[in-house]
Amino acid sequence: MELLQLFDENKNMLNESIERDKKKELPEGKYFMIILLFIENNNKFLIQKTSVNRESEYATTGGHVTYGDNALKTVIKEAYEELGLILEENEIKEIETVTHKKAHVGIYYCNKKIDINKLKIQEEEVDSLYWMSIDEINELIKEDKFRKSNIKALEKVLEKTR
């Protein structure tokens, strides 16, 4: 049973949690948090083909903030869990946090030279990795193969890093 950290409307951590499968039942004024990490190198983004209950879906690295963790710690943890990539806090830039009905979505960015052939993917979640240009990602979006929840987040990254 995975417990998610709860936050208030201002993104302050509460001393409360909720089971992941009950996150849609949160009362008004309480939120869980998801992080999305966009890793860029030479004008290409590290995109993963997912292997979790989806056919041919592509996305960036991301995950839920679990109880006791904050967003930045989760970014570092998810990069390591999904990709086998070790990141330091000073390599990560917070872009923005967008609030939805029950969730805060923290959007993060890292520009780092990485050899994807040396990464160790979490096969339960990641099928394969690719460096993709914005044009290639836009093609996936047109084909409805890029995770919808990542599209606006990528737009925010491009706004703030260009």
d(CA 38, CA 50) in angstroms, rounded, equals 15
User: pTM for the full model?
Assistant: 0.95
Question: DSSP 3-state assignment of 125?
Answer: coil
d(CA 70, CA 146) in angstroms, rounded, equals 27
pLDDT of residue 69: 97
pLDDT at 55 over 90: no
pLDDT of residue 135: 98
Kindly list the distances between the CA atom of residue 152 and the CA atoms of 48, 74, 98, 106, in Å, as whole numbers in the listed order: 17, 20, 10, 12
Backbone φ and ψ of 4, nearest 5°? -95, 140
Does residue 158 lie within any of the structural domains? no
Does residue 147 lie within any of the structural domains? yes
Give me the CATH number covering residue 144.
3.90.79.10
Does residue 125 lie within any of the structural domains? yes
Mean pLDDT of the chain: 95
User: Which amino acid appears at position 79 of this protein?
Assistant: A
d(CA 76, CA 93) in angstroms, rounded, equals 12
Does residue 161 lie within any of the structural domains? no
Q: In this prediction, what percent of the chain has a pLDDT beyond 70?
A: 97
List the domain range (segments joined by +) for residue 89: 3-153
Q: Which H/E stretch holds residue 62?
A: strand 61-64
Does residue 45 lie within any of the structural domains? yes
| Residue pLDDT, tens place only, 106-116 | 999 999 999 99
Number of domains in the chain: 1
